[in-house]
Structure 1
Amino acid sequence: MHLPSALMRSIAIRVGTAAGVAALTLGLAASPTPAHDHDDVRTPTLTGFASLPAQTYVPASDPSGAALGTAPINGVVPPFADQPVQGFSGIVRGGGGAYEVLSDNGFGAKANSADYALRVQRLAPVFRTGAIDVLGGFHLTDPDGKVPFPLTRPDRVLTGADFDVESITRAVDGTYWIGDEFGPFLLHFDRTGRLLSAPVSLPGVFAPENPYLAGGTPNLGGSKGFEGMAISPDGRYLYPLLEGTVTGDPAGALRMYEFDLRAGAYSGKRWTYQLDSPAHAIGDAIAVDANRFLVIERDGGQGDAALVKKIYLADRRDRDRDGALDKTLVVDLLNIANPKRLGGFGPVFRFPFTTIEDVIVLDDKTIAVLNDNNYPSSSGRTPGLPDNNEFITIRLPKSLHPDGRTLR
């Protein structure tokens, strides 16, 4: 049945207030199981599990999902009275045990996301209870008119019809650089989400949604722009990674570029990340040190049909001289040891989601991974039900030896 507006607001308030108070009482953003308890692990091991209910909304926000129709999707009936807290596609530390997580363009396409306001959500996982606190967040806006092409909203709050934001880093000065897939563009925002300069185009590469295409032929697939973006440990360079292959490049070859923040321009250097299969996609890319990156690679399956959900350590030094970043498997997200049965799951934990788009290094042997739940469309955990937003921590058997500056 159709979820009435009052009920959806009630759900959002319950998640954002009552559950949050209980979680805070037990300890805000409690750490996962201490690392020293797992120093002898021989296989990647689940050490923390927290989940945010799929039907979590920003209280008293704008209606959304009008272009989704009115038929149930995984048991949820659109449109929605508020903005869903969903679609996590990038993560940075937020301080005090919290994290800032980037929601993507909304409902999966430019045509159906004009009523989704682009937003950075502030979250705190509470591993003692398995809950995730929503502590607020901020919209991405362009009040100063930096975007030279027309926007959807007259108040210049950016929407999923304007940009498809999929990756985020924080610069040394505290501002944010965000990677977009529609251009693809690089977008620079201040600490409140205000756009600081015009979108930076990628020379010679155009997605079908690019507003400057002007009837030309795109050479990149739709929404296949900057899915991942790392920042160098010294804060000088961005390393945006395309999700799709540029026309004319070998099948499954993805370009990684270098953008010099000091010069405000691309340096001209680029590398290749080679997918295991051209049918795969990447979900995120972050720096471990000056030369190595963690990259999520996945297939398009979910649930029992999910076969490839992996995180690789990719090295741009190309020691085997094959022309691509060297890849070393770090963790198979479909085969994680779970000896403590965290989350109520069995001894082998699977992260079987269509899109897994967030990874962050917590210490030399621990990473955190989040899914993009594509609300309300994905149902990888339970068929017929919309996926929750899950936040897991994984203890690795070997140290990543990260540059300490990437842990700040």
Structure 2
Amino acid sequence: MRFSLIALACGLAGPAMAEDIYPATLAGHAILPAFSMIAPPEDAPRDLLISGKFTGKGRNEAPMSVMGDTGKNYGQHPTGISLPFIGQPVQGMSGFAMNRAEDGSWFTLTDNGFGSKLNSPDAMLFFHRMAPDFETGKVERLETVFLNDPDHKVPFRIANEGTESRYLTGSDFDTESIQYLDGEIWIGDEFGPYILRVARDGRVLDVFATRLDGEVLTGPDTAGTIVPAAPGKDFRVQRSGGYEGMALQPGSNLLWAMLEKPLLVEGGETEGDFLRVLVFDPARADWTGDSYRFKLSEGATAIGDFNFIDDTRALVIERDNGEGDAAKACAEGADAASCYPLPAKVKNIVLVDTASRDDQGYIRRIGHVNLMDIADPEGKALAGLKPAEGNFSFPFFTIENVARVDETHILVANDNNLPFSGGREIGRAAENEFILLSVPELLAAK
């Protein structure tokens, strides 16, 4: 069964859309615990043994001394996990590679650490191989590879510039999307935005700046952006608006890199309620010059991931900035300590056809599944992580991982922003949840 949603265009933002909503059924549920830590490599600077020292108003070197919370906009709920950490947090799953490792495990990566360039100089950057087991409900971390720059390929000064090992941190890049191609890792960054070519052992091989219509795109966190800078004039990419999704197209092996947020125009406004998609050719190590547009649905503010399922069709996560079950939304004037002031509403997995575009370059949206309304007739949701009544939902602020598993299933996972996000339960940090969804109608749609 499917339902039809009519989304009306606004002004010149894009064409009118008729879009189908398809059902989703929970087929598996597994977690990697929120508080999952790993030790830095033996040759890393001792500074990196403790992470999160700069997440407050000043330096704090006392481990586990300051409780994390969800922030003012989300009720400032404590999450039960305190900073700084001893070790490096595995949190922040921020993209699945379409091509899996030889053993069938999934390549994914941890993002910049604690949310900004300023607070993450001691958060190391790394990617992983993960294996969710839906029989046991657990996710096994099979491998972690730390990013480093021994050959000085990064074109700006890094946080660990003067060290021998030159490990990269969240002050250097915000790594948000990943692909695996011919034994190498390709990573989309939000700060530059840049595309990184990385060896399987974590060595940076190349760093590519972004070009749109022949001009280099930059943001407020790009190396070389000088303050004061005028948004839309001196830079066009919004803060945290770089490559949240980067899809690898089968057959062509082209990378379709999608910005997380709309570009800015002179005066500081956005150019519309759409996101740019730029195409990069790894074989030529250059941009093709092609760019397209992804239209956000009403209420959506950003995307979380982007992956092809065949030569032309792809999945995109679109989301709002909400977090938490709408059934526990704060009433007007209520104390936000026991409710969600900004609950989740728009959390979709959208199927698009990249080969079908209008004369403005808008990619056709075929339909979507609603992650706030997932059927669970077989009781697959893990104990303590399912609602008391109603369908299962995925009410997290940042849902940043989606990939096709087979002809009827997709895999979805959240970024838990440790220790700053909740969503599942007030007063408890969000776990890294992996859900297997049965969505045969969505995957068969044309």
Residue 295 (structure 2) aligns with? 274
> Percent identity over the alignment?
41
Structure 2 counterparts to residues 203-352 of structure 1, below 5 A: 203-215=215-227, 217-248=234-265, 250-277=271-298, 280-304=301-325, 305-318=343-356, 323-342=361-380, 343-344=382-383, 345=386, 348-352=391-395
Q: Does 1:55 align with 2:35?
A: yes
Cα distance between partner residues in 1 of 2:441 and 2:192? 38
Cα distance between partner residues in 2 of 1:293 and 1:362? 13
Mean alpha-carbon deviation: is it higher for 306-315 or for 316-325?
316-325
Deviation, 1:365, is 1.2
Structure 2 counterparts to residues 69-84 of structure 1, below 5 A: 69=56, 70-73=65-68, 74-84=79-89
Residue 32 (structure 1) aligns with? none
Cα distance between partner residues in 2 of 1:104 and 1:376? 14
**What is the SS of the residue equivalent to 1:110?**
coil
CA RMSD of aligned residues (A): 2.0
Cα distance between partner residues in 2 of 1:78 and 1:250? 38
**Cα deviation digits, residues 69-107 of structure 1 (max 9, x gap):** 443111222111111110010112233242221100001
In the alignment, is the contact (CA less than 8 A) between 2:108 and 2:130 conserved in 1? yes
In the alignment, is the contact (CA less than 8 A) between 2:194 and 2:207 conserved in 1? no
Cα distance between partner residues in 1 of 2:134 and 2:39? 24
Residue 166 (structure 1) aligns with? 176
Deviation, 1:253, is 1.5
Mean alpha-carbon deviation: is it higher for 235-244 or for 315-324?
315-324
Cα distance between partner residues in 2 of 1:141 and 1:341? 43
Cα distance between partner residues in 2 of 1:218 and 1:60? 35
Cα distance between partner residues in 2 of 1:139 and 1:242? 25
In the alignment, is the contact (CA less than 8 A) between 1:252 and 1:278 conserved in 2? no
Normalization by structure 1: what TM-score? 0.84
In terms of fraction of residues, the more helix-rich structure is 1
Residue 381 (structure 1) aligns with? 424
**Cα deviation digits, residues 284-326 of structure 1 (max 9, x gap):** 0111223222100000111121101001112233456564111
Deviation, 1:252, is 1.6
Mean alpha-carbon deviation: is it higher for 245-254 or for 369-378?
245-254
**Cα deviation digits, residues 40-63 of structure 1 (max 9, x gap):** xx8311101001111111146621
In the alignment, is the contact (CA less than 8 A) between 2:261 and 2:301 conserved in 1? no
Mean alpha-carbon deviation: is it higher for 151-160 or for 351-360?
151-160
Cα distance between partner residues in 2 of 1:316 and 1:134? 33
Cα distance between partner residues in 1 of 2:442 and 2:427? 39
From the superposition, tell whether residues 240 and 140 of structure 1 become closer, same or farther in structure 2 (CA, over 3 Å).
same
Segments ≥4 residues shifted beyond 3 Å? 198-203, 317-323
Normalization by structure 2: what TM-score? 0.77
Deviation, 1:141, is 0.9
In the alignment, is the contact (CA less than 8 A) between 1:334 and 1:350 conserved in 2? yes
**Cα deviation digits, residues 316-346 of structure 1 (max 9, x gap):** 3345656411113331101111011111335
Cα distance between partner residues in 1 of 2:344 and 2:368? 18
Q: Does 1:393 align with 2:445?
A: no
Mean alpha-carbon deviation: is it higher for 318-327 or for 218-227?
318-327
Q: Does 1:157 align with 2:157?
A: no
Q: Which runs of 5+ in 1 are unaligned?
A: 1-41, 403-408
Residue 75 (structure 2) aligns with? none
Cα distance between partner residues in 2 of 1:96 and 1:377? 33
Mean alpha-carbon deviation: is it higher for 129-138 or for 275-284?
275-284
Cα distance between partner residues in 1 of 2:274 and 2:305? 15
Q: Does 1:90 align with 2:90?
A: no
From the superposition, tell whether residues 148 and 309 of structure 1 become closer, same or farther in structure 2 (CA, over 3 Å).
same
In the alignment, is the contact (CA less than 8 A) between 1:85 and 1:121 conserved in 2? no
Deviation, 1:279, is 5.3
Deviation, 1:110, is 0.7
**Cα deviation digits, residues 91-139 of structure 1 (max 9, x gap):** 1223324222110000111111110100112221121111111223110
Mean alpha-carbon deviation: is it higher for 220-229 or for 283-292?
283-292
Cα distance between partner residues in 2 of 1:333 and 1:54? 21
In the alignment, is the contact (CA less than 8 A) between 1:205 and 1:246 conserved in 2? no
In the alignment, is the contact (CA less than 8 A) between 1:310 and 1:329 conserved in 2? no
From the superposition, tell whether residues 236 and 156 of structure 1 become closer, same or farther in structure 2 (CA, over 3 Å).
same
From the superposition, tell whether residues 60 and 258 of structure 1 become closer, same or farther in structure 2 (CA, over 3 Å).
closer
Residue in structure 2 matching 1:45, options 25, 28, 31: 25
**What is the SS of the residue equivalent to 1:363?**
coil
Number of residue pairs matched?
Answer: 361
Deviation, 1:385, is 1.0
Q: Give the AA of the match of 2:246.
A: M
**What is the SS of the residue equivalent to 1:400?**
helix
Deviation, 1:401, is 5.1
Deviation, 1:223, is 1.6
In the alignment, is the contact (CA less than 8 A) between 1:116 and 1:159 conserved in 2? yes
